[in-house]
Amino acid sequence: MFYDDDLFNKTKNYLLKHLNQDVFIFMYQENDEIISTCSMQVISYLPQYNNNGKVGYLCNAYTKKEYRSRGLQTNLINQCM
């Protein structure tokens, strides 16, 4: 498995600054183990006449293989919306 301390630290610092501000992470846990996750990042652009300039991007959607086909990811995506 590839691991990079520099990338880990940059990611950690970014999330500490942005979590619940413009990055939102939703997950299911079972027995203290993350089994499904979905994230949304809100990007701000110059507002236009028909919107507020904010766009949400879904990312990092993943469910462990043994928990798939149970609707977990569908529920997480709905929470993001």
pTM above 0.85, yes or no: no
44-67 average pLDDT score:
92
In this structure, the chain runs to a length of 81
Residue 54 has pLDDT above 80, yes or no: yes
pLDDT tens per residue, range 28-39: 999 999 999 999
DSSP state for residue 21 in the 8-state scheme: T
17: left (phi over 0), alpha (psi -120 to 50) or beta: alpha
- Number of domain units in the chain: 1
pLDDT value of residue 1: 62
pLDDT value of residue 80: 85
- The boundaries of the domain holding residue 60 are 5-80
CATH number for 18 = 3.40.630.30
